[in-house]
Chain A
């Protein structure tokens, strides 16, 4: 088996460092380093919705904002959110909503802000992973965690968690996946490329293996800040 550009194994994730409660003003926050990606996510709410007509009488509205810092990529990115940022915000918001028990807070707003400070491929999955932790840190009741990871193909082999260098290889395919864990349900899935059907299924299976690892890391980070008392086991 050939090695990868950064000498990782095909199913090896980049180094992940998580810190919870980094923002004093936010009700929940998370700082995440994922390889060369650096992400800060904050969660506030439930709080009143303005303008009022945006409120939903059935559930809380999750307003997810994915933003990239101007200096997070090689060529300066305009601070104005583009179509890509808006689309990612929409689908990620839907994904996170499936984990939060929004039906408990009708007519309210849950604000989620994610800022990408440094980008090296897989920012939307890093953002979701961080946002999910920030939501837990904010004490929102949740069905589970959103564990997100990118899987795909680079240099003729199926790999997990691609870097930018791997994404730039000729045959690269990048599939961003987010799972609601531990239910293993898919809440976000985006891919473009040229992939045989068998490979598609295999990449998806790899992504689930990756998401299980992310889920363990998330649980560990939460337990570090909020140690369990007594005999409770997760």
Chain B
């Protein structure tokens, strides 16, 4: 319970700063913390990335699997996305099955990537109607200090961009640790990025810290791809947004798109 007290104190601190039109770490309301991306950090994974946004750290790793395609897309491979937020990331997380919030976060990051027509699933078909490659993207939060959705999305994206294609044997099974000279086929023009806003006392914040997230009562995530919107998701407690606020966030996110894209490519 003592952690709860600490959380409330941090949230109150964040609110006090915001009331003075400031943020605790001196950033502007719509600035990101420093973003650091390292790729190919895990030897056993086919693609991987370690993303740091301030104190938030997430590792994404990719493994391939062979599976039967979904009946409605017999010639397309698939992607399975998973985000694990365990006790490693923060003492506030309880051991046990994944929390419903972690699941929601993973699903939002997944949706941003999936809906941008970024992955070329047609090229992951092995035998039409029978065998396709499935891309398993697993993200682990190493340190949680807010903005886990965007961090997971950036990590997954960086891992996908640097993922090697596995070799297949004569029976179309994966030969582990052997790769073709190809990278996972993606449509680099459609690079999707997620932008998560939190609303604290009516003020919109980008890249919120843990304390700011706890102080907020509404969250909104946008998936942006060049000047196109690929996903909307309102979440986080029972706070509300107006239509004007949604449009403002859309404009801010698209104006930040190129800046963040440069850091990931």
- Footprint of B on A, CB under 8 Å? 83-84, 86-87, 90-91, 94-95, 97-98, 102, 175, 180, 183-197, 200-201, 204-205, 208
B227→A190 contact, CB < 8 A? no
B229→A187 contact, CB < 8 A? no
Task: Answer yes or no: B236 CB below 8 A from chain A CBs.
Answer: yes
B239→A91 contact, CB < 8 A? no
* A189-B220 CB under 8 A given contacts A196-B228, A200-B229: yes
A189→B107 contact, CB < 8 A? no
| Ranked 5 nearest A-B pairs via Cβ | A185-B240, A192-B115, A191-B232, A98-B238, A189-B234
Task: Answer yes or no: B151 CB below 8 A from chain A CBs.
Answer: no
Task: Answer yes or no: B104 CB below 8 A from chain A CBs.
Answer: yes
- Footprint of A on B, CB under 8 Å? 100-101, 103-104, 107, 111-112, 114-117, 220, 223, 225, 227-243, 246-247, 250-251, 254
CB of B248, distance to nearest CB on chain A (Å): 11
| Subset of 8 A-B contacts with CB under 8 Å | A97-B237, A193-B231, A194-B115, A194-B228, A195-B230, A197-B229, A201-B243, A201-B250
Residues of B within 8 A of A186 (CB): 234, 240-243, 246
Q: How far is the CA of A95 from the CA of B236 in the complex (A)?
A: 10
Residues of A within 8 A of B117 (CB): 194
B240→A192 contact, CB < 8 A? no
B232→A190 contact, CB < 8 A? yes
CB of A152, distance to nearest CB on chain B (Å): 11
Residues of B within 8 A of A195 (CB): 228-230
Q: How far is the CA of A197 from the CA of B246 in the complex (A)?
A: 11
Q: How far is the CA of A151 from the CA of B238 in the complex (A)?
A: 22
A192→B111 contact, CB < 8 A? yes
Q: How far is the CA of A67 from the CA of B254 in the complex (A)?
A: 36
CB of B224, distance to nearest CB on chain A (Å): 9
CB of B181, distance to nearest CB on chain A (Å): 31
B234→A190 contact, CB < 8 A? yes
Residues of A within 8 A of B107 (CB): 83-84, 87
Interface centre among B103, B231, B232 (most CB of A within 10 A): B232
B241→A185 contact, CB < 8 A? yes
Residues of B within 8 A of A90 (CB): 100-101, 104, 235
Contact of A175 among B101, B228, B232 (CB under 8 A): B232
